[in-house]
Amino acid sequence: MSAPAVRHAAFAELAAAGPVQRVTLFTGVPVWLITGYAEAREALTHPDVIKGKGGDGPHRGSVPADLAAAMDQHLLGADPPDHTRLRRLVSAAFTRRRIEELEPEIRLIVDGLLVL
C-alpha cells in the first residue's frame, strides 16, 4: 500500500472510531485527538482549553530547546490576549477576497503535494 493510501486508511479508522479519542503518540505520551469539525471548534473556542508552550508539549523530550522556543512565538500557539493582538494584525491578509485570489496558486501547490 502506498504512503497516501496508508494515511487515508488511518484517517478513516480514526474517523470511524469517533470525533474525540485518547491516543498515544510515538513518544509514549497520551493525548486527546479531535477529528470532528464541531468538536474541534468547541475545543478551540472553549475558555478552559489553553495551549501549552512548545517546551510543555507531548514532544518536550524530543524537541531542542531553541526549536521549542520558536514554536511558542506564532499566532496558532498563542492564547488571548496575545492571540487576539496577532490575529488583529494579520486579519486583513486573510479576507475572503484575498483567499479567493490565492486559490489558483494554493491548488497548484496542493496538487503537487498530493502527487508525492
Q: Say what the pLDDT of residue 103 is.
A: 94
Question: Residue 8 above 60 pLDDT?
Answer: yes
Three-state SS for 3-55 is HHHHHHHHHHHHHHHCCEEEEECCCCCEEEEECCHHHHHHHHHCCCCCCCCHH
Stretch 29-38: mean pLDDT: 89
Whole-model pTM: value is 0.52
Tens digit of each residue's pLDDT (9 = 90 or more) over 63-111 = 787 877 777 677 877 778 888 899 999 998 889 999 999 999 999 999 9
